[in-house]
Amino acid sequence: MENNMKKKQTRKNEEGSGVVTGIGHGGELHQTSGNGSPELTTNQGVPISDGQNSLKANEHGPTLVEDFILREKITHFDHERIPERIVHARATGAHGYFELTESLEEYTTASVLTEKGARTPVFTRISTVAGGAGSVDTPRDIRGFAVKFYTKQGNWDLVGNNIPVFFIQDAIKFPDLIHAVKMEPDRGFPQSASAHDTFWDFISLTPESMHTVMWIMSDRTLPRSLRMIEGFGVHTFRLINSAGRSTFVKYHWRPKLGLQSTIWDETVKISGADQDYHRRDMFEAIASGKFPEWELFVQLFTSEQAEQFPFDHLDPTKLIPEELVPLKKIGRMVLNRWPDNFFAETEQVAYCPSHIVPGMDFSNDPLLQGRLLSYHDTQLSRLGTVNFHQIPINAPKCPFGNHQRDGHMQMGHPTGRVSYEPNSLSGNSPRESPMNGFHSLPSLETGEKARVRSESFKDHYSQARQFYISQTDHEQSHIASALVFELSKVEHPHIREAIVGHLRHIDEKLASRTASALGMNKLPAAPPSAAPVMDLPPSTALRTIGNMKDTLMGRTIAILVMDGSDGILINGLKKAAEDAGADAKIIAPRIGGIKLADGSAMDVDGQLPGSPSVLFDAIAVVIPEDGAKALLNESSAVDFVRDAFVHLKAIAVDKGGRALLSGVNIKPDAGLVEAAETALFIAAAKTRQWDREKNVRTLI
């Protein structure tokens, strides 16, 4: 009875507590951590002295495999969900090739990076992070960008994201980050959204995340198309040449179509109109022969150069500005074939950062070091077997063989007596290849083994500030609006105040804008900064606006028509759009075709209520004047033109179209042109009408 009362006393019904903490399964109480809270322990009950840092050989050294706390935490996290991926569950994948255009023979022996002109098969998977497989394509979220190269020397997996930095500096914090951003465990929502208490609570207590937060709150995480995003390897890797000399490398994918994002209100409406918006876009592009393409760039630098950087290149919350280390273009990737079976390929493909080939090696980035363990372990859970490499989408396209045998779902048929090496009983069994095989870079590691975070990792705000001040005024406003939207969903005032405090280290005006819009009477105090905040120079490469291409390639224009429309104007607009590289879709109040003013028939591609303007990059309205009166009583028509205007899209109109716009109080501006002026319309359609934004949206 007394023991039961002790148990009850320790069961504090604090909000967010989903388990009884501080009590062993046998009913014994643990010691407290010193501040009244129960001790953090392993699953074996061992108290943990430091849950923030993995065990390293030294301050800058590699993570040690003996770190049983890291291994238990990561392994448990990897096996939490079966069989869906814990992160990156919803994805689009495609086959293609990588063509090397400039050899890196000076830096590496990896054939995929040295044989100029060679084409290497690839399978690329682009995914959201937070949502499940049944979520939508278009939430505000990072996109995973993973490429599997089927090289002559074995598979190389370049597994990254569409932004170059990450939330955390050490892999031991990854389960905490994802638990925080995923739907809250006591209520099962929100799905695929970061606008909730647990995520921002974690961020408020993890200032190293503020750089990535700036990227997430920017337009980068609202892509118009997966064909219009960048990809980054995130981590620093190594290349090793024939002389055994190492060079550090960072990888960048640049889309041929340039960067393009949507606007938040538009994104929300797209998710309702077409949950598969990005997947459909990629499928239709490949099906029509408009193959998505990216160029591969590298940043190459030496250890001596790295020592001069005003940040630590091993810190995954930092990027290397292009102005400091220029990008070198070395090749291109073309995706030209859709999977034959979504499950067999896109769902079963298994990427692991540990999959590299001779001529490559890892750095001591502590997040990367943990990923080398985690990804392989996750595939064992998801695919249920150590033989996941035998699934066709994962199998190398070069010869491979070893003495690993049996296991669940073994599809090979090993023969003979020998299943070990070295051996003297088989003359043709696989043996080591000292000359051509993989070699790790010899390196001297000294220092005290400890759970430690490098002193050089302490600057959490300088690059966050650099990113923010590099944005255009419009993009800065979008960041402020995104922060206010997200934090307005946070129930606890102290979390909102803590985030605004962090923002003060990044930009006082941003903090003030956010605080004011959240109804704060005064600015919260900024938390202590572990390192001085540097004023780094702006970098135009960090913007989205300005890095768009002057093209309509990859875009779609909608032409709204109805019975009695002018066929000459319609065909002129359609031809101009297609000549500029865009697709043109004819939208009408009903499916099945229309009768034009001259009596001829025209097929249509979509019905108005099912084809809202959020699905298109620009619109034209070619309708008879009496038709405008009818459409003013049709909400889908009113929304069609009003949304296009509010989302800053170019609009071409004839006399009837102008009457429709006037009827919903849309006033002329530079992005509203006559349908007959096709050249002006095409020029306007290539970009958003940014000057319009101040007239249609109250910017925070």
Please say if 88 is a catalytic residue.
Answer: yes
**Planar angle of CA 463, 464, 465, nearest 5 degrees:** 85
Instruction: Give start and end residues of each alpha helix (H) in 274-365.
Output: 277-287, 303-307
User: DSSP letter string over 560-598?
Assistant: E--TT--HHHHHHHHHHHHHTT-EEEEEESSSS-EE-TT
Q: Number of H helices and number of E strands within the chain?
A: 19, 20
Beta bridge partners of 479: none
The helix (run of H) or strand (run of E) holding residue 544 is none
Strands 606-607 and 583-588: parallel
Instruction: Give start and end residues of each alpha helix (H) in 63-127.
Output: 68-78
Distance CA 63, CA 364 (A): 7
Burial (0-12, 13-18, 19+ Cβ within 10 Å), 463: buried
Please say if 58 is a catalytic residue.
Answer: no
Burial (0-12, 13-18, 19+ Cβ within 10 Å), 609: middle
Q: Are 681 and 573 in contact (CB under 8 A)?
A: yes
Burial (0-12, 13-18, 19+ Cβ within 10 Å), 44: exposed
Q: In 3D, which of 301, 300, 296, 330 has the Cα closest to residue 147?
A: 296
124 three-class SS: strand
Distance CA 607, CA 305 (A): 59
Tokens of 332: 């291109």
Pick the catalytic residue from 161, 162, 364, 387: 161
Q: Are 225 and 274 in contact (CB under 8 A)?
A: no
Work out the number of other CB atoms within 10 angstroms of the CB of residue 322. Answer: 15
Pick the catalytic residue from 53, 60, 88, 387: 88
Which 8-state DSSP code applies to residue 314?
A: T
Q: Are 545 and 474 in contact (CB under 8 A)?
A: yes
Which residues belong to the active site?
Answer: 88, 161
